[in-house]
Amino acid sequence: MPNIVLFSGSSHQDLSQKVADRLGLELGKVVTKKFSNQETSVEIGESVRGEDVYIIQSGCGEINDNLMELLIMINACKIASSSRVTAVIPCFPYARQDKKDKVSESRAPISAKLVANMLSVAGADHIITMDLHASQIQGFFDIPVDNLYAEPAVLQWIRENIAEWRNCIIVSPDAGGAKRVTSIADRLNVEFALIHKERKKANEVDRMVLVGDVKDRVAILVDDMADTCGTICHAADKLLSAGATKVYAILTHGIFSGPAISRINNAAFEAVVVTNTIPQEDKMKHCSKIQVIDISMILAEAIRRTHNGESVSYLFSHVPL
Protein backbone atom coordinates (compact mmCIF):
# COMPACT_ATOMS: atom_id res chain seq x y z
CA MET A 1 0.00 0.00 0.00
CA PRO A 2 2.13 2.94 -1.24
CA ASN A 3 1.64 6.58 -0.23
CA ILE A 4 -0.19 5.80 3.00
CA VAL A 5 0.75 6.86 6.54
CA LEU A 6 -1.04 5.62 9.66
CA PHE A 7 -0.79 7.63 12.88
CA SER A 8 -2.13 6.83 16.34
CA GLY A 9 -3.42 9.30 18.88
CA SER A 10 -2.88 8.54 22.56
CA SER A 11 -6.43 7.42 23.39
CA HIS A 12 -6.19 3.78 22.22
CA GLN A 13 -2.75 2.83 20.95
CA ASP A 14 -3.39 -0.90 21.31
CA LEU A 15 -6.22 -0.77 18.75
CA SER A 16 -4.10 1.41 16.43
CA GLN A 17 -1.27 -1.14 16.57
CA LYS A 18 -3.66 -4.00 15.75
CA VAL A 19 -5.00 -2.08 12.74
CA ALA A 20 -1.45 -1.35 11.59
CA ASP A 21 -0.48 -5.02 11.96
CA ARG A 22 -3.47 -6.13 9.87
CA LEU A 23 -2.50 -3.64 7.15
CA GLY A 24 1.15 -4.66 7.29
CA LEU A 25 2.19 -1.09 8.15
CA GLU A 26 4.30 0.57 10.81
CA LEU A 27 2.62 3.31 12.83
CA GLY A 28 3.93 6.74 11.85
CA LYS A 29 6.23 8.67 14.17
CA VAL A 30 4.40 11.23 16.25
CA VAL A 31 5.16 12.78 19.64
CA THR A 32 2.31 14.14 21.76
CA LYS A 33 2.93 15.91 25.04
CA LYS A 34 1.56 18.57 27.37
CA PHE A 35 3.16 21.87 28.17
CA SER A 36 3.27 22.93 31.82
CA ASN A 37 0.09 24.97 31.29
CA GLN A 38 -1.66 21.80 29.98
CA GLU A 39 -1.73 22.88 26.33
CA THR A 40 -1.38 19.95 23.92
CA SER A 41 1.68 19.75 21.70
CA VAL A 42 1.97 17.44 18.66
CA GLU A 43 5.08 16.84 16.57
CA ILE A 44 4.78 14.75 13.38
CA GLY A 45 8.09 12.91 13.10
CA GLU A 46 8.13 12.06 9.39
CA SER A 47 7.23 13.55 6.02
CA VAL A 48 3.57 13.34 4.98
CA ARG A 49 3.87 15.45 1.80
CA GLY A 50 1.56 13.96 -0.83
CA GLU A 51 0.63 11.05 1.45
CA ASP A 52 -2.78 9.57 2.26
CA VAL A 53 -2.88 10.05 6.05
CA TYR A 54 -5.08 8.12 8.51
CA ILE A 55 -5.21 9.19 12.18
CA ILE A 56 -6.78 6.75 14.66
CA GLN A 57 -8.18 8.39 17.78
CA SER A 58 -11.18 7.10 19.75
CA GLY A 59 -13.50 9.30 21.81
CA CYS A 60 -12.70 7.80 25.19
CA GLY A 61 -10.61 8.38 28.30
CA GLU A 62 -9.81 12.08 28.67
CA ILE A 63 -12.27 12.88 25.89
CA ASN A 64 -11.70 16.63 25.61
CA ASP A 65 -7.90 16.30 25.63
CA ASN A 66 -8.02 13.46 23.09
CA LEU A 67 -10.37 15.40 20.82
CA MET A 68 -8.06 18.43 20.92
CA GLU A 69 -5.08 16.18 20.21
CA LEU A 70 -6.88 14.75 17.16
CA LEU A 71 -7.72 18.22 15.83
CA ILE A 72 -4.10 19.35 16.18
CA MET A 73 -2.81 16.17 14.49
CA ILE A 74 -5.20 16.67 11.57
CA ASN A 75 -4.14 20.29 11.17
CA ALA A 76 -0.44 19.44 11.48
CA CYS A 77 -0.73 16.88 8.66
CA LYS A 78 -2.84 19.19 6.52
CA ILE A 79 -0.42 22.12 6.63
CA ALA A 80 2.45 19.66 6.00
CA SER A 81 0.98 19.14 2.50
CA SER A 82 -0.60 15.68 2.89
CA SER A 83 -2.87 14.81 -0.03
CA ARG A 84 -5.75 13.64 2.18
CA VAL A 85 -6.35 13.33 5.93
CA THR A 86 -8.84 10.77 7.23
CA ALA A 87 -9.84 10.78 10.90
CA VAL A 88 -10.59 7.24 12.07
CA ILE A 89 -12.76 7.69 15.18
CA PRO A 90 -14.01 4.27 16.39
CA CYS A 91 -16.14 5.86 19.14
CA PHE A 92 -17.40 9.29 18.09
CA PRO A 93 -17.24 11.81 20.96
CA TYR A 94 -20.35 13.76 22.03
CA ALA A 95 -22.52 11.50 19.84
CA ARG A 96 -25.36 11.49 22.38
CA GLN A 97 -25.69 15.28 22.17
CA ASP A 98 -27.16 15.11 18.68
CA LYS A 99 -30.49 16.94 19.12
CA LYS A 100 -32.74 18.96 21.37
CA ASP A 101 -35.22 16.54 22.89
CA LYS A 102 -37.83 18.66 24.64
CA VAL A 103 -39.05 22.22 24.99
CA SER A 104 -37.30 22.35 28.38
CA GLU A 105 -34.00 21.74 26.52
CA SER A 106 -34.50 24.57 24.03
CA ARG A 107 -31.20 26.13 25.13
CA ALA A 108 -29.26 22.86 25.02
CA PRO A 109 -26.32 22.63 22.57
CA ILE A 110 -26.09 20.15 19.70
CA SER A 111 -22.51 19.28 20.53
CA ALA A 112 -22.15 16.49 17.98
CA LYS A 113 -22.63 19.11 15.25
CA LEU A 114 -19.99 21.31 16.90
CA VAL A 115 -17.51 18.41 16.89
CA ALA A 116 -18.28 17.82 13.20
CA ASN A 117 -17.55 21.48 12.44
CA MET A 118 -14.31 21.36 14.40
CA LEU A 119 -13.07 18.29 12.53
CA SER A 120 -13.86 19.90 9.18
CA VAL A 121 -12.23 23.21 10.07
CA ALA A 122 -9.12 21.38 11.35
CA GLY A 123 -8.71 19.99 7.84
CA ALA A 124 -10.18 16.47 7.85
CA ASP A 125 -11.14 15.32 4.35
CA HIS A 126 -12.90 12.11 5.40
CA ILE A 127 -14.26 10.50 8.58
CA ILE A 128 -14.39 6.79 9.41
CA THR A 129 -16.34 5.90 12.55
CA MET A 130 -18.31 2.97 13.96
CA ASP A 131 -21.93 2.53 15.08
CA LEU A 132 -22.84 6.18 15.49
CA HIS A 133 -25.36 6.73 18.27
CA ALA A 134 -27.57 8.45 15.70
CA SER A 135 -26.99 7.88 11.98
CA GLN A 136 -28.06 11.43 11.14
CA ILE A 137 -24.76 12.68 12.63
CA GLN A 138 -23.35 11.85 9.19
CA GLY A 139 -25.43 14.75 7.90
CA PHE A 140 -23.64 17.17 10.23
CA PHE A 141 -20.60 16.93 7.93
CA ASP A 142 -19.97 18.37 4.48
CA ILE A 143 -17.21 15.80 3.93
CA PRO A 144 -17.60 12.03 3.32
CA VAL A 145 -18.40 9.93 6.41
CA ASP A 146 -18.23 6.13 6.53
CA ASN A 147 -20.24 4.77 9.46
CA LEU A 148 -19.03 1.20 9.94
CA TYR A 149 -21.00 -1.48 11.77
CA ALA A 150 -19.86 -4.05 14.33
CA GLU A 151 -22.68 -6.37 13.16
CA PRO A 152 -20.46 -8.91 11.30
CA ALA A 153 -18.30 -9.40 14.41
CA VAL A 154 -21.40 -9.57 16.64
CA LEU A 155 -23.02 -12.26 14.47
CA GLN A 156 -19.84 -14.32 14.54
CA TRP A 157 -19.57 -14.04 18.34
CA ILE A 158 -23.19 -15.12 18.86
CA ARG A 159 -22.83 -18.17 16.62
CA GLU A 160 -19.53 -19.24 18.18
CA ASN A 161 -20.27 -18.57 21.88
CA ILE A 162 -24.01 -19.10 22.49
CA ALA A 163 -24.88 -22.77 22.01
CA GLU A 164 -28.63 -22.08 22.09
CA TRP A 165 -28.48 -19.15 19.64
CA ARG A 166 -31.15 -20.71 17.39
CA ASN A 167 -33.58 -20.38 20.32
CA CYS A 168 -32.61 -16.80 21.16
CA ILE A 169 -34.44 -13.52 20.84
CA ILE A 170 -32.65 -10.24 20.06
CA VAL A 171 -33.80 -7.40 22.31
CA SER A 172 -33.31 -3.64 21.99
CA PRO A 173 -33.24 -1.84 25.36
CA ASP A 174 -34.93 1.19 23.75
CA ALA A 175 -37.09 1.99 20.73
CA GLY A 176 -34.22 3.83 19.03
CA GLY A 177 -32.28 0.60 18.56
CA ALA A 178 -35.10 -1.28 16.79
CA LYS A 179 -33.43 -1.08 13.38
CA ARG A 180 -30.18 -2.47 14.78
CA VAL A 181 -31.79 -5.51 16.43
CA THR A 182 -34.09 -6.33 13.50
CA SER A 183 -31.07 -6.49 11.20
CA ILE A 184 -29.28 -8.95 13.51
CA ALA A 185 -32.46 -10.96 14.10
CA ASP A 186 -33.06 -11.27 10.34
CA ARG A 187 -29.53 -12.56 9.75
CA LEU A 188 -29.88 -15.12 12.55
CA ASN A 189 -33.45 -15.95 11.46
CA VAL A 190 -34.80 -15.41 15.00
CA GLU A 191 -37.38 -13.07 16.53
CA PHE A 192 -36.80 -9.70 18.16
CA ALA A 193 -38.31 -7.65 20.99
CA LEU A 194 -37.83 -4.16 22.34
CA ILE A 195 -38.13 -2.34 25.62
CA HIS A 196 -39.71 1.09 25.82
CA LYS A 197 -38.07 3.21 28.50
CA GLU A 198 -38.95 6.55 30.00
CA ARG A 199 -36.26 8.68 31.64
CA LYS A 200 -36.64 11.12 34.53
CA LYS A 201 -33.31 12.66 33.53
CA ALA A 202 -30.04 11.70 31.83
CA ASN A 203 -28.61 8.34 33.06
CA GLU A 204 -31.74 7.62 35.13
CA VAL A 205 -34.56 5.39 33.83
CA ASP A 206 -38.06 5.84 35.27
CA ARG A 207 -39.89 2.75 33.94
CA MET A 208 -39.66 0.05 31.27
CA VAL A 209 -42.24 -1.80 29.17
CA LEU A 210 -41.32 -5.00 27.31
CA VAL A 211 -42.83 -5.47 23.84
CA GLY A 212 -42.39 -9.09 22.71
CA ASP A 213 -42.36 -12.64 24.12
CA VAL A 214 -39.08 -13.82 25.67
CA LYS A 215 -40.44 -16.75 27.70
CA ASP A 216 -38.15 -19.83 27.67
CA ARG A 217 -35.66 -18.16 25.35
CA VAL A 218 -32.12 -16.84 25.56
CA ALA A 219 -32.40 -13.04 25.46
CA ILE A 220 -29.59 -11.07 23.82
CA LEU A 221 -29.65 -7.34 24.53
CA VAL A 222 -28.00 -5.35 21.73
CA ASP A 223 -27.19 -1.64 21.92
CA ASP A 224 -24.66 0.80 20.49
CA MET A 225 -23.25 1.87 23.87
CA ALA A 226 -23.55 1.54 27.62
CA ASP A 227 -22.37 4.22 30.04
CA THR A 228 -23.52 3.80 33.65
CA CYS A 229 -25.34 0.57 32.66
CA GLY A 230 -28.55 1.40 34.52
CA THR A 231 -30.61 0.76 31.38
CA ILE A 232 -29.20 -2.64 30.45
CA CYS A 233 -29.22 -3.89 34.06
CA HIS A 234 -32.88 -2.89 34.49
CA ALA A 235 -33.59 -4.47 31.11
CA ALA A 236 -31.94 -7.72 32.21
CA ASP A 237 -34.17 -7.86 35.31
CA LYS A 238 -37.21 -7.17 33.12
CA LEU A 239 -36.31 -9.99 30.72
CA LEU A 240 -35.70 -12.54 33.48
CA SER A 241 -38.98 -11.65 35.18
CA ALA A 242 -40.69 -12.15 31.79
CA GLY A 243 -39.35 -15.71 31.56
CA ALA A 244 -36.04 -15.49 29.71
CA THR A 245 -33.72 -18.40 30.54
CA LYS A 246 -30.47 -16.45 30.12
CA VAL A 247 -29.54 -12.86 29.35
CA TYR A 248 -26.53 -11.62 27.40
CA ALA A 249 -25.65 -8.01 26.51
CA ILE A 250 -23.72 -7.07 23.37
CA LEU A 251 -22.60 -3.45 23.03
CA THR A 252 -20.41 -1.71 20.49
CA HIS A 253 -19.02 0.95 22.84
CA GLY A 254 -18.51 -0.03 26.47
CA ILE A 255 -18.00 3.30 28.26
CA PHE A 256 -18.66 1.86 31.75
CA SER A 257 -18.41 5.01 33.86
CA GLY A 258 -19.50 5.61 37.46
CA PRO A 259 -21.27 2.61 39.03
CA ALA A 260 -21.30 0.58 35.80
CA ILE A 261 -18.91 -2.19 36.88
CA SER A 262 -20.63 -2.84 40.22
CA ARG A 263 -24.01 -2.89 38.47
CA ILE A 264 -22.81 -5.46 35.94
CA ASN A 265 -21.27 -7.62 38.70
CA ASN A 266 -24.60 -7.58 40.58
CA ALA A 267 -26.75 -8.18 37.48
CA ALA A 268 -27.79 -11.58 36.14
CA PHE A 269 -25.88 -11.42 32.85
CA GLU A 270 -24.17 -14.50 31.49
CA ALA A 271 -21.77 -12.12 29.73
CA VAL A 272 -21.50 -8.48 28.74
CA VAL A 273 -19.77 -8.36 25.36
CA VAL A 274 -18.23 -5.16 23.99
CA THR A 275 -15.95 -4.29 21.08
CA ASN A 276 -12.52 -2.77 21.58
CA THR A 277 -13.42 0.68 20.23
CA ILE A 278 -12.67 1.69 23.85
CA PRO A 279 -9.88 0.10 25.96
CA GLN A 280 -11.34 -2.47 28.38
CA GLU A 281 -8.29 -4.03 30.05
CA ASP A 282 -8.69 -2.24 33.40
CA LYS A 283 -12.42 -2.88 33.56
CA MET A 284 -12.02 -6.58 32.77
CA LYS A 285 -9.79 -6.90 35.86
CA HIS A 286 -12.76 -5.86 38.04
CA CYS A 287 -15.53 -7.67 36.15
CA SER A 288 -15.22 -11.25 34.88
CA LYS A 289 -18.45 -10.93 32.87
CA ILE A 290 -16.96 -8.47 30.37
CA GLN A 291 -15.74 -10.04 27.12
CA VAL A 292 -14.23 -8.19 24.16
CA ILE A 293 -14.70 -8.56 20.40
CA ASP A 294 -11.80 -7.30 18.28
CA ILE A 295 -12.99 -5.00 15.47
CA SER A 296 -9.54 -4.04 14.19
CA MET A 297 -10.12 -6.16 11.07
CA ILE A 298 -13.20 -4.10 10.12
CA LEU A 299 -11.33 -0.81 10.60
CA ALA A 300 -8.28 -2.07 8.73
CA GLU A 301 -10.34 -3.28 5.77
CA ALA A 302 -12.22 0.04 5.64
CA ILE A 303 -8.89 1.92 5.55
CA ARG A 304 -7.53 -0.38 2.85
CA ARG A 305 -10.66 0.00 0.71
CA THR A 306 -10.70 3.78 1.16
CA HIS A 307 -7.04 4.07 0.18
CA ASN A 308 -7.53 1.88 -2.90
CA GLY A 309 -10.74 3.63 -3.98
CA GLU A 310 -12.90 0.54 -3.37
CA SER A 311 -16.41 0.29 -1.93
CA VAL A 312 -16.57 0.33 1.87
CA SER A 313 -20.27 -0.59 1.97
CA TYR A 314 -19.35 -3.89 0.29
CA LEU A 315 -18.00 -4.95 3.69
CA PHE A 316 -21.54 -5.06 5.09
CA SER A 317 -23.70 -5.79 2.05
CA HIS A 318 -21.87 -9.10 1.48
CA VAL A 319 -21.79 -10.49 5.03
CA PRO A 320 -22.68 -14.21 4.80
CA LEU A 321 -26.04 -15.13 6.28
pLDDT (tens digit per residue) in 117-170:
999 999 999 999 999 998 899 999 999 999 999 999 999 999 999 999 999 999
Domain end call among 123, 148, 173: 148
Domain end, chosen from 129, 148, 167, is at 148
Residue 53 clears pLDDT 80, i.e. is over it:
yes
State the virtual CA torsion across 183, 189, 190, 194 in degrees, nearest 10.
Answer: 10
Q: Which of 100, 116, 148 is the last residue of a domain?
A: 148
Are 125 and 228 members of one domain?
no
Confidence of residue 103 (pLDDT cuts 50, 70, 90): low
Residue 205 domain-assigned (yes or no): yes
Supply the DSSP symbol for 144. Answer: -
**CATH number of residue 193's parent domain:** 3.40.50.2020
Per-residue confidence (pLDDT) for residue 101, from 0 to 100: 73
Does residue 22 sit within a domain? yes
Residue 306 falls inside a structural domain: no
Cα-Cα-Cα-Cα dihedral sign, residues 159, 165, 169, 171: negative
305 lies in some domain: no
293 contacts 259 by C-beta, under 8 angstroms: no
Shared domain for 207 and 112, answered yes or no, is no
Domain count, the chain: 2
If residue 161 lies in a helix (H) or strand (E), which one and from where to where? helix 151-161
Q: Can you give the residue range of the structural domain that contains 77?
A: 4-148
Examine the pLDDT at 247 and tell me if it is beyond 70. yes
Residues 229 and 117 in one domain: no
Residues 221 and 232 in one domain: yes
Q: What angle do CA 91, 57, 39 make, to 5 degrees?
A: 120
Is 231 part of any domain?
yes
Q: What is the pLDDT of residues 62-101, one digit of tens each?
A: 999 999 999 999 999 999 999 999 999 999 999 999 988 7
Q: At what angle do helices 296-308 and 13-23 cross, to 10 degrees?
A: 50
Structural domain contains residue 140: yes
